[in-house]
Chain A
Amino acid sequence: MIISRLAGRPVLLAAGLVAAFVLPWSIYPPVAMDIACWALFAAAVDLLLGFTGLLSFGHAAFWGSAAYVSGLIALHTGLPFPVAVLGGALFAATLAAPIGYLSVRLRGIYFAMVTLAFAQMVYFIANQWRDLTGGENGLQGIPRELFGIDLSDPFFFYYAGLPFVLAGFLLAWRIVRSPFGRVLVSIRDNPARARALGYPVDRYKLLAFVLSAFLSGIAGGLFAISHGFASLQEVYWTTSGQAVIMVVLGGIGTLWGSAIGAALIVLLNDYLATAGFEEIGIVTGAIFIIVVLLFRVGIWGTARNLIAAHTRRREAATSPDPGAQPQQEDINTPAPQR
């Protein structure tokens, strides 16, 4: 049974990679790039929400500031886009250090509110600093270039940008699978106990916060380069909310669920807008309510539980082994919120 579980994982992984590679063949390439960027952003939020127990409502600050910084680097220096994206991500991580330092002492709703407040500060700076950011007109005409290769065709840019997203996912996956990630989970479940065991809880939270901001920064920078545009929308609080919604839809604490949530929301927005449907919010809102009421662990979480239950039943039927172990990764799934 362990063998079958281990064999299942590479199959899923391969299927995921194939899906990521064929995406721009089946849908409009810029939309495919949007899905990739949002998936990484949502995974970064999930790293905090699902694995550290911190609901950040201010991640737009990192996604957005990286979008602006990447855009400015590409626009004014003409450096190839990977440099611009990394520059943006590093800026986001640097910005996250002081914000995280001040916020991680708080818990629950207070943490969410303080991060929201910081994100709004970033929003107002971006809005007022018109000479640099273009204010509400946004930063326009960001070039897409890689050592003289013109990547203005979105189809090719998808493949140029995809490695960054995959690397980001790999990093997130490594983080949650590392001893460091285990400590984060223990902090999520019982911070007092973790502290009693001698872990500097606040420092762990801060590091998780900065790493999450770095990943958000990669996603935001790529997003800006992909659109050739960075606007105030990127630092607006609804962007933070959108990422949280994606995480909840896909399944908190699943990491891969974020990609499903992102694909669902981006495709839905694109499809409804193209079909001329006026009230996109009603549909997204309704889906959100249904998922929260009926599938509390999200789409991927529910699917995983169903598969696990199915496997257990089959195993119970074939070998009446009373010591069937519970799924190992269950410890990553937080108890449903009350």
Chain B
Amino acid sequence: MRMLRRSVALATVGALLAGCGGGPGGGGGKISDGAVVLAVLNDQSGIYADLSGRGTIEVVRMAVADYQAKYGDKAVAEKIDVIAADHQNKPDVANSKAQELYDRQRADVIVDVPTSSAALAVATVAKNKKKVFLDVGAATTELEGKGCNKYTFHYGYNSYMLANGTATAVTRDGAKNWYVVYPDYAFGQDMERTFTAAVKNSGGTVVESDPTPFPNDNFSTFLLKAPDLKPKPQVVGTMQAGGDLVNFVKQYNEYKLRDQGIELAIGLMFLTDIHSLGVDALRGTRFTDYWYWNANPENRAWADRFQGKVGRRPTAAHAANYSAALQYLEAVQRGGTDNADAVVGQLEGRKVNDMFGRGGTIRAQDHLLIHDAYLAQVKSSGEVKEPWDYEKIIKTIPAAEAFQQPSAACRL
């Protein structure tokens, strides 16, 4: 009886799951299974849910709509499905979800995937299954280094762009002495290395650089020590991200380091972080961003569309996901098929010049999209004119300088 009930339950769940999956389609021809399936795999309930999450599903739908509007009857992909899964920022979940999306849900491409370890896991799956993967959300340079492969593209930003942009610009601006604090795990160590190298190359000195536990909520030991370092640092650079960054900034303000002449520079910050901390806590902070919704009328027009659907302003990650999905569909259109090898061929070396990727090229050597990045500064509360109007773009970092040279470790 127990077994009967159990197998009935299993069969029911199985049938439900199969129903969600869509199953194999009947279509032959150049589009596999009769439809192009775009899968969004990202964090939909955790710390990255705000900066990409469900908004990303919406932007991929926007890209599909734009593609269909542009090509109409001539569209190679007549039927396009957008599906999504939550990877909870865990590499093991990402690994099994990616297999499931490619196999069970017939996904032709996976986009987004924040969290470096999860992204590397999905890259391995993409390589084994020979399916396209466009990573937008993860920062690790390993995706275009040791972990690169033929089917994986890195689209948007990486830790080199973040650390190098901020460190170079702020040091050249006159902040010669740095105190760097970083979380002691792969991302933080990676950022710290790039950051220190960039400070030195620009003629500055890193007075001291301290690893912190990860995750951590008490940064007082590090912050209290900063004013007494010899020589006294002009900037404290934090590589913290997410919740740790929020705590770090709050405590930076509590200890009034800004009044003691120590500025704040941040390695990785998204619009949503500024929103949750408030502009007052971050006033004047400089960081590298790779897209800002209010930077020009074109961005703004797109941001208005986004707001109409999601109810708030988009982050850079949203814009990058939109562009990645659109470029994928354009590649399908040009190649006339959703065959992964053909799409990869169409994407390699492709110049990108849409609302997101200005001056962009998808580098054929390592599949990294290089494009313009921006040095941004957080506005003071007096300068904020409307909700989500938090950033001032100080300077454009041209594509050629913003990203690293192709790594020798990458063999596609």
Contact = CB atoms under 8 A, between A and B. Distances in A.
Among the interface residues A227, A260, A274, A276, which one has the most CB atoms of the partner chain B within 10 A? A274
A253 B167 CA distance: 59
Interface string A299-330: 01001000100000000000000000000000
B10 A26 contact: yes
B185 A136 contact: yes
Interface string A214-243: 000000000000011101111000000000
A200 interface: no
A135 interface: yes
A267 B86 CA distance: 15
Contact of B100 (A12, A30, A278): A30
B92 interface: yes
Interface in B268-324: none
By DSSP majority rule, is chain A's interface helix, strand, loop, or mixed? helix
Contacts of B192: none
B100 A231 contact: no
Contact of A260 (B4, B6, B45): B6
B112 interface: no
Contact of B2 (A12, A34, A233, A276): A12
Interface in A21-48: 22-23, 26-28, 30, 34
Contacts of B121: 137-138, 140, 229, 231
Nearest to A143: B128
B307 to A, nearest CB: 22
Interface residues of B, number: 40
B224 interface: no
B201 interface: no
B95 A15 contact: no
A275 interface: yes
A299 to B, nearest CB: 9
B14 A26 contact: yes
Given A273-B85, A279-B45, A228 B17 contact: no
A137 B7 contact: no
Interface in B18-44: 20, 44
Contact of B7 (A19, A136, A138, A228): A19
B3 A137 contact: no
Contacts of B11: 26
Nearest to A281: B45
Given A130-B186, A140-B120, A228-B95, A23 B10 contact: yes
Contacts of A273: 85-86, 88, 93, 97
Contacts of B99: 30, 154
B44 A278 contact: yes
Contact of B95 (A127, A135, A136, A227): A227
Contact of A278 (B3, B86, B96): B86
Contacts of B17: 27-28, 270-271, 274
B361 interface: no
B10 A27 contact: yes
A30 B3 CA distance: 21
B6 A19 contact: yes
Contact of A233 (B84, B91, B104, B116): B91
A131 to B, nearest CB: 12
Among the interface residues B20, B93, B96, which one has the most CB atoms of the partner chain A within 10 A? B96
Contacts of A260: 2, 6
Contacts of A227: 92, 95-96
Given A15-B4, A137-B116, A28 B124 contact: no
A98 interface: no
A79 B2 CA distance: 39
A263 interface: yes
B92 A138 contact: yes
B16 interface: yes
B263 interface: no
A141 B103 CA distance: 17
A19 B3 contact: yes
30 contacts: A16-B3, A19-B3, A19-B7, A26-B7, A27-B10, A27-B17, A28-B17, A28-B100, A30-B99, A135-B186, A138-B91, A140-B120, A228-B124, A228-B128, A229-B91, A229-B95, A233-B90, A263-B6, A267-B9, A267-B13, A270-B17, A273-B86, A273-B97, A274-B17, A275-B20, A276-B86, A279-B45, A303-B1, A303-B2, A307-B1
Interface of B: 1-4, 6-7, 9-11, 13-14, 16-17, 20, 44-45, 84-86, 88, 90-93, 95-97, 99-100, 103-104, 116-117, 120-121, 124, 128, 142, 185-186
